[in-house]
């Protein structure tokens, strides 16, 4: 049983009959813009089985604990629970939409510079409405730059001192346990004390890729870069977000790039749809296993950061990510225009907690920035840092 599978009908046909209403309730919440990760759906179904519920209130408490609706949406959650399990008269919860966004999300190609300038005007073209779609990637593009990127990446990322120590002949701390054993064996005669030092290890890399309609021109290149990162970095995690959150690390571990991207295209179901940056990032943070990926990691968000409507959830999520991460970077394709200024309300709110706000409009600029993360940061002098960064100490 896998509640996160792409086809809901296939899932319900293979799961126990008693679990079908629970899965469909989670699906109903998703359709009403509740940010729910697939792991939360699985945990909800398992928790009901462990409880052996004696009443509907037990199921409701399990849903509250595992699906974790925000306090401001608790009333809507209870209303949908009564609608689904008791058949009460529904009250439709409106989700704002935008005709311009729908036209764009249906695949209408626009000139890159015109699209960039229009999106900069407060995100008026972005949409929160969920629109599920599949993607097929083009044939392989020249990969010479990415091959060089893969080779240089392991030596270019930040490192930290691990808690595991190894013996060293000099420049370390005294290994007291080994020294005491040597003293006992040598009857107090130890010509040189043994030393140990904490072994350096590469920091984790977490990449969050926006796959909404406004990022359609860039997601293919971003996924190719993410594949190179996963192939080179032992502890790398890749997620996509649009209206849903999807972990694609496992499929990107496939060595053949085009096969890996084809598998990723099948796994992600919200390509080129609406944008719910705040709710999907909060869903990421609500799953403890996912939130642990960000702890002490180099976190890179590849997004235009154009949130639809209220941006408070996005601000809260980015602040929490910044607190967990060693370095938090936002790479936006909008910065490819020299006239770009981060003046939208959402960008102004999150900019103080970002370590980097850089240009993500091309493979060359993005890979150059990633390779610069391990170097000491030069001074930053512009409205945004196009090739510079400042890290947390």
Same domain, 302 and 261: yes
**CATH at residue 304:** 3.40.50.410
**Would residue 230 count as lying in a domain?**
yes
**Would residue 302 count as lying in a domain?**
yes
Same domain, 216 and 309: yes
Same domain, 220 and 331: yes
Same domain, 260 and 336: yes
Same domain, 70 and 214: no
- DSSP-derived 3-state class of residue 385: coil
Residue 142 CB contacts under 8 Å (≥ 6 apart), including other chains: none
Provide the whole-model pTM: 0.64
Q: What is the pLDDT of residues 58-80, one digit of tens each?
A: 888 888 888 888 878 888 888 89
**Would residue 100 count as lying in a domain?**
no
Distance CA 104, CA 102 (A): 5
Q: What is the pLDDT of residues 188-203, one digit of tens each?
A: 777 777 888 777 889 9
**Would residue 78 count as lying in a domain?**
yes
- Band of the pLDDT at 378, cuts 50, 70, 90? low
Same domain, 230 and 345: yes
For residue 212, the enclosing domain spans 144-154+203-371
Same domain, 228 and 183: no
User: Quick one: CA dihedral 111, 116, 122, 123, positive or negative?
Assistant: positive
Same domain, 172 and 268: no
DSSP-derived secondary structure for 267-298: H--BTT----HHHHHHHHHHSHHHHHHHTT-E
- Band of the pLDDT at 86, cuts 50, 70, 90? confident
Same domain, 209 and 195: no
Beta bridge partners of 168: 195
Distance CA 36, CA 283 (A): 6
Q: How many domains does the chain have?
A: 3
Same domain, 69 and 150: no
**Would residue 118 count as lying in a domain?**
no
Q: What b/e string do you get for 187-225 counting C-beta neighbours within 10 Å, with b at 16 or more?
A: eeeeeeebbbeeeeebbbbbbbbbbbbbbbebbebbbbb
Distance CA 277, CA 244 (A): 9
Same domain, 247 and 196: no
Tell me the two tokens of residue 363.
């493979």
Distance CA 333, CA 174 (A): 51
User: In what helix (H) or strand (E) does residue 215 lie, and over which residues does it extend?
Assistant: none
**Would residue 258 count as lying in a domain?**
yes
Same domain, 192 and 222: no
Residue 62 CB contacts under 8 Å (≥ 6 apart), including other chains: 44, 47, 48, 51, 53
């Amino acid at each position: 049983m896998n509640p996160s599978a792409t086809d809901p009908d296939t899932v319900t046909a293979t799961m126990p009959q008693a679990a079908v209403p629970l899965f469909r309730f989670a699906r109903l919440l998703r359709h009403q813009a509740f940010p729910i990760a697939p792991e939360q759906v699985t945990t909800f179904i398992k928790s009901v089985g462990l409880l052996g519920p004696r009443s509907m209130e037990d199921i409701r408490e399990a849903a509250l604990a595992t699906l974790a609706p925000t306090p401001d949406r608790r009333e809507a959650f209870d209303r949908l629970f009564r609608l689904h399990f008791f058949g009460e008269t529904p009250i439709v919860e409106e989700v704002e939409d935008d005709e311009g966004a729908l036209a764009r999300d249906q695949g209408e190609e626009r000139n890159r510079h015109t699209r960039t300038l229009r999106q900069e005007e407060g995100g008026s073209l972005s949409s929160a409405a969920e629109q599920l779609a599949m993607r097929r990637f083009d044939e392989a593009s020249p990969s010479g730059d990415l091959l060089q990127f893969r080779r240089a990446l392991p030596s270019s990322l930040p490192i930290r001192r691990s808690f595991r120590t190894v013996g060293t002949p000099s420049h370390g701390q005294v290994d007291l346990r080994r020294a005491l054993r040597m003293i006992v064996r040598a009857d107090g005669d130890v010509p040189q004390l043994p030393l140990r030092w904490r072994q350096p290890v590469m920091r984790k890399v977490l990449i969050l890729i926006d796959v909404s309609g406004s990022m359609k021109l860039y997601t293919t290149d971003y996924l190719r870069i993410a594949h190179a990162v996963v192939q080179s970095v032992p502890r790398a995690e890749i997620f996509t977000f649009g209206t849903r959150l999807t972990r694609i690390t496992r499929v990107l571990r496939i060595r053949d790039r085009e096969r890996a991207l084809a598998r990723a295209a099948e796994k992600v179901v919200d390509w080129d749809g609406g944008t719910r940056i705040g709710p999907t990032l909060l869903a990421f943070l609500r799953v403890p296993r996912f939130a642990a990926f960000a702890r002490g990691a180099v976190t890179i968000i590849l997004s235009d950061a154009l949130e639809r409507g209220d941006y408070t959830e996005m601000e809260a999520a980015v602040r929490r990510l910044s607190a967990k991460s060693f370095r938090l970077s936002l790479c936006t394709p909008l910065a490819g225009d020299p006239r770009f200024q981060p003046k939208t309300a959402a960008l102004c709110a999150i900019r103080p907690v970002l370590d980097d706000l850089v240009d993500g409009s091309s493979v060359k600029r993005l890979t150059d920035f990633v390779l610069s993360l391990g170097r000491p940061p030069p001074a930053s002098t512009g409205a945004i840092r196009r090739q510079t960064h400042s890290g947390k100490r």
